[in-house]
Chains A and B, each alone.
Chain A
């Protein structure tokens, strides 16, 4: 069966906060084949960091679990799925609200989903209480058109 995607990768790791940097750097390295700008790459890193942090502190709370990331490239779009098999989100609409947090005691700002939504083109959340949460995000990497001189040079 032919894969409809141009490229795909999977990543699994323990829900330890020390893996947050590992996750965002790995996804950014995968995304870099689309030749994103520094800003686009920073956006992807930040969104992944938010989703992975959510899986660790909300999905699994203090328990240990596995965080899974699937990333796919199709044409000039990157799709990143971050999932956990933790406790799930009771009210997704509320969780998406800016400044809403269930962990204010930990100085969480409640801006996680807001950042994901504004840094990516599309964010979908699927969650079942007791079974886990999946966050699916998409971002289109805009190609910067070369001007004529640059095209000339590139020949």
Chain B
């Protein structure tokens, strides 16, 4: 996972670099929550360009972070999801609540 924070835009960019399954989701969630509480961003962007696999553990992880961003008055965005990740996002209804770009 790679993190970049843009101070002026108050935007937290998180590039996820591993496959998101139940095993990794636990670690990922802790790491992301640390970054969110540290910066309290207005917007968090998950970059999925390097995520080659995601199952339903990813759905739980994303919805949890979406709720967290909502709680602090911010928003969540997802970009560069590949076809198979996109299929999961579509099925889970995440597309209706989280903005997808790229």
Determine whether the beta carbon of A111 is less than 8 Å from that of B23: no
The DSSP consensus for interface residues of chain B is: helix
Known contacts A17-B23, A21-B21, A114-B91, A108 near B60 by CB under 8 Å: yes
Point out the residues of chain A lying under 8 angstroms from B57, CB to CB.
Answer: 53, 108-109
User: Once the chains are docked, how many angstroms separate the CA of A13 from the CA of B84?
Assistant: 27
A42 to B, closest residue via Cβ? B84
A62-101 Cβ-contact flags toward B at 8 Å (1 or 0): 0000000000000000000000000000000000000000
B3-35 Cβ-contact flags toward A at 8 Å (1 or 0): 000000000000000010111011001000000
Determine whether the beta carbon of A46 is less than 8 Å from that of B84: yes
Minimum C-beta distance from B22 to chain A (A): 4
Check: A127 CB closer than 8 A to any chain B CB: no
Determine whether the beta carbon of B83 is less than 8 Å from that of A56: no
User: Once the chains are docked, how many angstroms separate the CA of A108 from the CA of B92?
Assistant: 12
Point out the residues of chain A lying under 8 angstroms from B91, CB to CB.
Answer: 111, 114-115, 118
Write 16 A-B pairs (CB below 8 A) sorted by A numbering.
A20-B21, A42-B84, A42-B87, A43-B84, A49-B21, A49-B53, A50-B56, A53-B21, A53-B56, A56-B22, A109-B59, A109-B63, A109-B92, A111-B56, A111-B91, A115-B55
User: Once the chains are docked, how many angstroms separate the CA of A77 from the CA of B29?
Assistant: 37
Known contacts A115-B56, A115-B88, A107 near B61 by CB under 8 Å: yes
Check: B73 CB closer than 8 A to any chain A CB: no
Determine whether the beta carbon of B23 is less than 8 Å from that of A21: yes
| Residue from the set B25, B26, B55, B84 with the largest chain A CB neighbour count within 10 Å | B55
User: Once the chains are docked, how many angstroms separate the CA of A17 from the CA of B64?
Assistant: 20
Determine whether the beta carbon of A53 is less than 8 Å from that of B84: no
Check: A134 CB closer than 8 A to any chain B CB: no
Minimum C-beta distance from A36 to chain B (A): 13
Determine whether the beta carbon of B53 is less than 8 Å from that of A45: yes
A56 to B, closest residue via Cβ? B22
Point out the residues of chain A lying under 8 angstroms from B59, CB to CB.
Answer: 109, 111
Point out the residues of chain B lying under 8 angstroms from A56, CB to CB.
Answer: 22
Minimum C-beta distance from A67 to chain B (A): 13
Point out the residues of chain B lying under 8 angstroms from A21, CB to CB.
Answer: 19, 21, 23
B37-73 with Cβ < 8 A to chain A: 53, 55-57, 59-61, 63-64
User: Once the chains are docked, how many angstroms separate the CA of A43 from the CA of B84?
Assistant: 8
